[in-house]
Chain A
């Protein structure tokens, strides 16, 4: 790991100010950033740890939305009765991230800000039509994810919480890489008042994406049979040593059908 300065400010405003340093980075749970730094793939000059800032973690129901603070740990989302009642698919997703010790450190805000193409939370945020709230503005999930590890976040912008509108039904199915636990393919399906949304992670070569053909097929008939014949185009999908694009395209269909079955 390269040397860095460590800062643990007590407010979001102070954290934003500390991020004005060139190459400064936010430290949330550190479960991705620290391994990346150990491999010297990241070398921030300053690490701005958010752990001392009050009000960044917690889970609450606010009207028709579930609100989760950015520093809320995966284990707390998975074990939360509030989440289990409001959006069971989201609690189940959190329980599938990493392993128990990783879930005690990793945070929802960190996962969304990192936007790993195989991370789980981006699929939930996109399928549920979440709103990502920062210290500067509110960003719709559809405008937030900008490709591999890229988001709409600007310099000095910090996620403070995430708002999930409550769906009628939802579920997440994930085919995990057995070594890394990352999604080879993960599909989050949400039936909402505004329609059906299907988001796929782990497969897209530009990160998480919505599956328009499946959404259309499920709009009138929310059942696994409705998407049995829907093909996934393998040309924009990832190919790597874990599986080629055709294999992932096939898995998208399998995971989507299982997710619809679990949600229905």
Chain B
């Protein structure tokens, strides 16, 4: 067992874990943050995307022990109390989900995309950047609309600190 400590959604957390524990298992099973999903478990689908030190990564393909000292943000860390993050609100406004399983990963990927490429995103850029996130309801049309709106609104609305 290995002692691991990190910051998750602004809170210091630590645990004694098996070295095999994936970051996604640590988040879901140790911290009960079940918003981060396991879809494919082979780093293809993107349902497990979280931010580590401000960058989107696949938490099914990262060891918890390798995040020692890191700052992790999950889907649970985006909203301000009951006020949704602009990207979450945009997914609600545009019905950017059907079953919702892929949504946490889509939103974390989208926020990372805005952090890297700015608030004015065209459709081609959004679609290209979603190559690591799979929606099996095939609802990409509204996801793309949601991300374009969320990106614009992130420019004007305050957001939770990473």
Contacts and interface: CB of A to CB of B under 8 A. Distances in A.
Contacts of A34: 22, 61-63
Interface stretch (A2-10, A128-136, A157-165, A222-230): A2-10
B57 to A, nearest CB: 5
B46 A5 contact: no
A1 B62 CA distance: 13
Interface stretch (B37-45, B77-85, B148-156): B37-45
A144 B158 CA distance: 51
B19 A4 contact: yes
B49 interface: yes
Interface string B22-45: 100000000000000000011110
Contacts of B123: none
A1 B22 CA distance: 10
B56 to A, nearest CB: 5
Contact of B62 (A3, A4, A79, A105): A105
A35 to B, nearest CB: 6
Interface string B57-91: 11001110110100000000000000000000000
A101 B57 CA distance: 4
A246 interface: no
A138 interface: no
Contacts of B133: 99
A31 interface: yes
A35 B61 CA distance: 7
Interface residues of A, number: 28
B109 interface: yes
Nearest to A5: B19
Contact of A102 (B58, B63, B116): B58
A223 to B, nearest CB: 30
Interface string B1-28: 0100000000000000011101000000
A38 interface: yes
A104 B57 contact: yes
Given A6-B65, A99-B132, A31 B43 contact: yes
A100 B57 CA distance: 8
Contacts of B57: 101, 104-105
Contact of A30 (B2, B42, B52, B62): B62
A158 B133 CA distance: 33
Contacts of A35: 42-43, 61
Interface in A15-60: 27, 30-31, 34-35, 38, 47, 49, 51
B124 to A, nearest CB: 15
A144 to B, nearest CB: 26
Contact of A51 (B43, B49, B66, B116): B66
Contact of B46 (A2, A30, A99, A181): A99
Contacts of B93: none
Given A35-B43, A38-B41, 8 more contacts: A27-B66, A34-B63, A51-B66, A101-B43, A101-B46, A101-B58, A102-B61, A105-B61
